[in-house]
Structure 1
Amino acid sequence: MAPIRRPNITIHFPQQLVGGIAGLNLLRLLLSWAREQARAELCLERERGWRMVGPKRPQFVLFGSSIVQLSYSNDGWGAILSDVYSRKADIVLRGYYGWNSRRAVQVLDKIFPKDASIQPSLVIVYFGGNDSMGPHSSGLGPHVPLPEYIENMRKIGEHLKCLSNSTRLIFLSCPPVNEAKVLQGASEIFSELVRTNELCGMYSEACVKLCEEMEVKVVDLFSAIQRRQNWADTCFTDGVHLSAEGSKVVVEEVLKVLKEAEWKPSLHWKSMPTEFSEDSPYDLVAADRKTTLNPSEWTFHREIQWD
Structure 2
Amino acid sequence: MIGSNHLFKYFSHVDVCYYHSDWHSIRVKGQFPHHAPSHLEVLTFQTFEPTEVKICLYQPSYRGCREESYKKVDILLLLVRYDDRGGSLDKLEGSLPFPLECIATSKHNMTSVVTCSAILNPGRYSVIPLSFKNWHATLSHESPVPYVIGLFSAKVIEWVERAPTKPGYLSESLFLLARKEGTLRSFNHHLKLYDVHISRSLWFVVIENHDKFYHYRISIDFTGTINLKLSRNGLQIDDYIPPQHRQVLVVIFPEDEQNVIHRYQYSIKSQPCMHNPNGEWGSFMSPSPTDANRELHSPRHLV
TM-score range normalised by the length of the shorter chain: under 0.3
Larger radius of gyration: 1
| Higher percent of residues as helix | 1
TM norm structure 1 = 0.21
> When the two structures are superposed, what TM-score results if normalisation uses the length of structure 2?
0.21
